Amino acid sequence: MVFVLNDFSQAFSKAIQLIFQLDPALLEIIGLSLRVSITAVLIASLIGLPLGAALALYKFYGRGIIVALLNAFMGLPPVVVGLVVYLILSRSGPLGVLGLLFTPTAMIIAQVCLITPIIAALTRQTILDANVEYHEQLRALGAKASRMMKTLLWETRFSLMTGVFAGFGRAIAEVGAVLIVGGNINHATRVMTTAIALETRKGDIELALALGIILITISLIVTSLVMSAKHAAYQYHS
Amino acid sequence: MLHTNIIANMNEVNALPLQVKNLQITKNGNVLLKDVTLSIESNNVTVILGPNGAGKSLLLRCAHGLENLSKGSLMWNTNIPQPQQSWRAYIFQKPVLLRRSVRANLEYVLSLHSINKANYASLIDAALKNTGLGQLADRNARVLSGGEQQRLNIARAWVLQPRVILLDEPTAELDPNGTAGIERLIMTIAQEGTKIIMSTHDLGQAHRLANDIVFLHQGRLIERTPAQSFFEQPQTKMAQDFIAGKLLNGE
Amino acid sequence: MKRVLTTILLILITMSVVIAEEESFITLSSTTSTDNSGLLDYLIPKFKDKTGIDVRVIAVGTGRALQLGERGDADLVLVHHKTSEVKFIENGFGIKRRDVMYNDYVIVGPKDDPANIKYLTKAVEAFKLISEHKVPFISRGDESGTHKKELELWSLAKIDIQKYSGDWYREAGAGMGATLNIANGMNAYTMTDRGTWLSFKNRDDLTLLFENDPPLFNQYGVILVNPERHEHIKYQQAKLFSDWLTSNEGQQAIAEFALENQQLFFPNAQREIATVETE
């Protein structure tokens, strides 16, 4: 136990040291992590929010299958997603000509595949619940179906934000998929999680743990930013 | 006239008479409205009266195009009702307000109909003033009191300057104070020349507001008379019992 | 509020714009051993200074490294398992294989050395003793060059190792570093390349027990991916790197690279062949 505590205190001081040195290699890795995951979340939201809302509001052929698939894909192991995206983007794969493998773009694509189902499924549930409350009223006010969808998305924005940030959490903490499609190339596709995996492999537990602490700190900062934005929005009107 | 002509052109329809012929609504094998035939011509306050389950709300919903008719017809002059028609508004017993400011709630309603944005401000200001919500314009609609919420609900109808407003038990959830406020509002709207059709199970309210009465019981039209004669000389046994405060039995 | 949200959104979008990279680079698939030791981090900047070409390294096992070449996802490979390399070339996936350097494997295990291999001189004997004592041995178990080498040594020692799989012989299915971490945790023996061992920091009770026997030597070769198979292969630039690795300058740089004052890789490119192929 003493031994473990010692490990953590060493890792902690190392993490603090790394942060305050503003180590350029570290900043590069953190920057890429954020860039990749934020882009992935933005794209996944652009797809997942309307998709989830449409699945909640419209009846169409194959809807049941899509919903079942979404729920199944929510728990998909990242490695499997990584492998599939790899096979598609590989030079021998169908999209090989684009030359996207081992680039940040490939990592973004993999993360979009991972988190779109999460955002879409949570959006569907949220919109389904909200629709019970709003449907009659919006209809009586004269809203048409497409406008109703937009209104419901906006009305439930705070709940939806939770889903979007669940997606961000999964994206930034994910290692399996980005390792396969990104390749963990130094100065090109190395992100926090793949760097942690690498340092663990090299037996540099201290540095790996320090990176882990930085990752958690960033997640905490992002989460609390969202919480305070939410709080501010509530305060604003009351 | 309050009608400032901003959207008067849009609402320049001859809404009346409302003509209902042999209307029937059947759901899951239950006949909820049966053989209702009536005509509403005059531009005043019509109250649909009756005990719970009489079919009052259903008749109002039909008039706003919210129900599929099983049999018969319902026409506003020559128009089949559809919720998108901006010359008519519908008010629920319990308002569902949007999670935004009072003003934004009114803006939203205007945005659903093709109204020139340049006119938003004056329309909204008028509606806020008329409903006494001016001080609360920037408040979040969701934190208003019950009475304030229902006033916003009415403002949301009024902002379109409609020809007709349908109200389904608008004071059922309010305390006497709130009820009085809403009733005053309804009277004002009616005096401004908007046709009011509202449902209630509250005899006193019907007495206070109604010019004429549509009395329903168990999905059937029992009496259709001017308010004064309804209360003074009810024609049917059922209406007499209802006015006397007796429980009504089935047929 | 709306303005704040819009600003935040704009910042995020600007941050996340993927900047098109104009830089010239080639992709090298190599083994974790060369990458983890820091050798490539040492060599690549020198090559880049000279040619302006960056080398992006995908560090995986030998099997996977060759597969990346086969699929056209790498421009050249630097691996260390001759049998697989020859097969790779015979199948037409690669051309112009050149020896670059060798390093060696060592056997590490718990300090108290329960199998008593410390004073042996033959690697095969060490493997026999480990199996006789049935002390835990962690294998990479990932079809990597190191794994294949280890299997060769078991068969040289005439031990049918699959019989003991799951018993005292454990297949990790992991990279070298991860395997060392497991060996540390289980007080087990394992075979590792010297480079990974020297740069490995989480040793605790693990110590080097056996080294310096020719069967443990490990030859590295560089192979260019066949451009006739994949049009997009940056063949000319990849060849520049292969030429440089086997040139006097590259070979000297390899010899210079040291970890804890120990030379890890021993250059042994055959100059004459290299010259012929450079033309």
Determine the Cα–Cα distance for residues B49 and B239; give it in Å rounded to an integer. Answer: 10
Instruction: With beta carbons under 8 A apart, name residues in chain B contacting A152.
Output: none
Torsion of CA C12, C18, C23, C25, to 10 degrees: 120
What are the tokens at C225?
A: 């991916």
Give residue B118's pLDDT.
87
Q: What pLDDT shows up at residue A3? A: 53
Query: Which conformational region is residue A169 in: left (phi greater than 0), alpha (psi within -120 to 50 degrees), or beta?
Result: alpha
**Who's near C14: CB < 8 A, 6+ residues apart?**
none
Chains that touch A (3 or more CB pairs under 8 A): B, C
Which residues in chain A are closer than 8 Å to B138, comparing Cβ atoms?
Answer: 237
**C1/A204 touch (CB, cutoff 8 Å), yes or no:** no
| Nearest-neighbour CA in chain A from C8: distance (Å) | 11
Whole-angstrom distance, CA of residue C36 vs CA of residue A13:
24
Rg (CA), chain A: 21
Does residue A65 surpass a pLDDT of 80? yes
How sure is the predictor about A116, in pLDDT bands with cuts at 50, 70 and 90? very high
- Tell whether A206 lies on the interface with C, counting CB pairs under 8 A: yes
Q: Which helix (H) or strand (E) holds C170?
A: strand C169-171
Query: With contacts defined as CB-CB under 8 Å, which chain A residues touch B137?
Result: none
Residue A112 lies in a domain: yes
Mean pLDDT across chain C: 84
Q: How far apart are the C-alpha atoms of C123 and C144, rounded to whole Å?
A: 20
Query: CB A39 to CB C16 under 8 A?
Result: yes
- Chain A residues in contact with C18 by the CB 8 A cut-off are 35, 39, 104-105, 108
Does residue A200 sit within a domain?
no
Q: What's the pLDDT score for residue A74? A: 86
Residues of B in contact with A238 (CB under 8 A): 139-140, 143
- The residue segments making up the domain with residue A100 are 34-191
Asked if the Cβ–Cβ distance from B92 to A137 is below 8 Å, we say yes
Domain parsing of chain B, residue ranges: 18-96+145-243
Question: Given CB atoms, is A27 within the 8 Å cutoff of chain C?
Answer: no
Instruction: Considering only residues A231 and C130, tell me which one the structure prediction assigns the higher pLDDT.
Output: C130
Closest CA to C55 of C63, C66, C65, C47: C47
Q: Which residues of C touch A96 (CB under 8 A)?
A: 72
Using left for φ > 0, alpha for ψ between -120 and 50, and beta otherwise, residue B59 falls in alpha
Domain B18-96+145-243 sits in CATH at 3.40.50.300
Residue to mutate among A91, A101, A160, A238, with most C CBs inside 10 A, is A91
Q: From the candidates C67, C202, C259, C260, which should be mutated to test the interface with A, based on the most A CB atoms within 10 A?
A: C202
Q: What's the token pair of residue B28? A: 């899951």
Kindly report the average pLDDT of chain A as a whole number: 86
Residues of chain A whose beta carbon is less than 8 angstroms from a beta carbon of chain B are 133-134, 136-144, 147, 151, 155, 236-238
What is the DSSP track for chain B?
----SSSTTTT-S--PPEEEEEEEEEETTEEEEEEEEEEE-SSSEEEEE-STTSSHHHHHHHHTT-S--SEEEEEETTBPP-TT-TTEEEE-SS----SSBHHHHHHHHHHHTT--GGGHHHHHHHHHHHHT-GGGTTSBGGGS-HHHHHHHHHHHHHTT--SEEEEESTTTTS-HHHHHHHHHHHHHHHHTT-EEEEEES-HHHHHHH-SEEEEEETTEEEEEEEHHHHHHS--SHHHHHHHTTPPPP--
Among the partner residues C57, C73, C177, nearest to A186 by beta-carbon distance: C57
Task: State residue B240's pLDDT score.
Answer: 86
pLDDT confidence band for A39 (50 / 70 / 90): very high
Please judge whether B98 and A237 are an interchain contact, meaning their C-beta atoms are less than 8 angstroms apart. no
Separation between Cα atoms, residue A131 and residue A150, nearest integer Å = 12
Predicted local confidence at residue A44, as pLDDT: 95
Domain C24-102+219-278 class, CATH top level: alpha beta
* A with C: touching (≥3 Cβ pairs within 8 Å): yes
Summarize pLDDT for C40-84 with one digit per residue, the tens.
Answer: 989 999 999 989 899 999 988 888 889 899 988 999 999 988 888
Q: Give C10's pLDDT tier (boundaries 50, 70, 90).
A: low
For residues C63 and C147, what is the distance between their CA atoms, to the nearest angstrom?
10
Which residues in chain A touch residue B139, judged by CB atoms under 8 angstroms apart? 237-238
Give residue-wise pLDDT tens across range C189-208: 999 988 888 888 888 889 99
Chain C residues lying within 8 Å of A198, measured CB to CB: 36
Hey, what CATH topology would domain C104-216 get? D-Maltodextrin-Binding Protein; domain 2 (3.40.190)
In a domain, A106, yes or no: yes
For residue C90, the SS3 value is helix
Put simply, the answer to whether B84 touches A144 (Cβ < 8 Å) is yes
In a domain, A236, yes or no: no
Residues in chain C with CB shorter than 8 Å from the CB of A35 are 15-16, 18
State how far residue C174 is from chain A, nearest Cα, in angstroms.
Answer: 9
Contacts of A142 in chain B (CB under 8 A): 83-86, 109, 112-113
| Residue carrying the six token digits 């049935």 | C134
What's the pLDDT score for residue B11? 65
Q: Are C31 and C60 in contact (CB under 8 A)?
A: yes
The residue length of chain B stands at: 251
Number of domains in chain A: 1
Task: Considering only the beta carbons, identify the residue of A139, A144, A238 that sits closest to B140.
Answer: A238
Q: Which residue has the higher pLDDT, B53 or C130?
A: C130
Q: How far is CA B61 from CA A67, C252, C273, in A?
A: 33, 90, 92
Q: Would the CATH topology of C24-102+219-278 be identical to that of C104-216? A: yes
> Residue A147 falls within a domain, yes or no?
yes
Beta-carbon contacts of B213 under 8 Å, excluding residues fewer than 6 positions away, are B46, B47, B49, B206, B223, B224, B225, B226, B227, B230
Cross-chain Cβ contact A238/B139 below 8 Å = yes
Q: Tell me the two tokens of residue B173.
A: 């959830």
**pLDDT tens-digit series, residues C30-40:** 987 788 788 89
Q: Which of B119-123, B163-167, C183-187, C272-276 has the lowest mean pLDDT?
A: C272-276
CB contact under 8 A, A183 and C232: no
Rg (CA), chain B: 18
Q: Do chains A and B touch (3 or more CB pairs under 8 A)?
A: yes
Per-residue pLDDT of A194-236, as tens digits, reads: 988 888 777 777 778 888 888 888 888 887 887 777 776 665 5
- For residue A142, the SS3 value is coil
The whole-number pLDDT of residue B197 equals 94
**Chains touching chain B at 3 or more Cβ pairs under 8 angstroms?**
A
Most C CBs within 10 A among A98, A201, A206, hence the mutation to make, goes to: A201
ipTM, interface predicted TM-score of the complex: 0.87
In this model, does residue C125 exceed pLDDT 80? Answer: yes
Collapsing DSSP to helix, strand or coil, C222 comes out as strand
User: Distances in Å between the alpha carbon of A42 and those of A15, A160, A165, A229?
Assistant: 29, 13, 11, 18
Bridge partners of C219? C102
pLDDT at C278: 39
Residue A23 domain-assigned? no
Mean pLDDT of C129-158: 88
Domain ranges in chain C are 24-102+219-278, 104-216
Residue A186 sits at the chain C interface (C-beta within 8 Å) = yes
Of B57, B106, B56, B63, residue with least CA distance to B85: B63
CA distance C272 to chain A (A): 33
Distance from CA of A64 to the nearest CA of C (A): 34
Can you give the pLDDT of all 251 residues of chain B as single tens digits?
Answer: 344 455 555 566 777 788 889 988 889 888 888 888 999 888 889 999 988 888 899 999 998 999 888 888 898 988 888 888 888 999 998 889 999 999 999 999 999 988 888 888 899 999 999 898 888 989 989 888 888 999 999 999 999 889 999 999 998 888 888 899 999 999 999 998 899 999 998 888 999 998 999 999 988 888 898 988 888 888 888 888 888 877 766 54
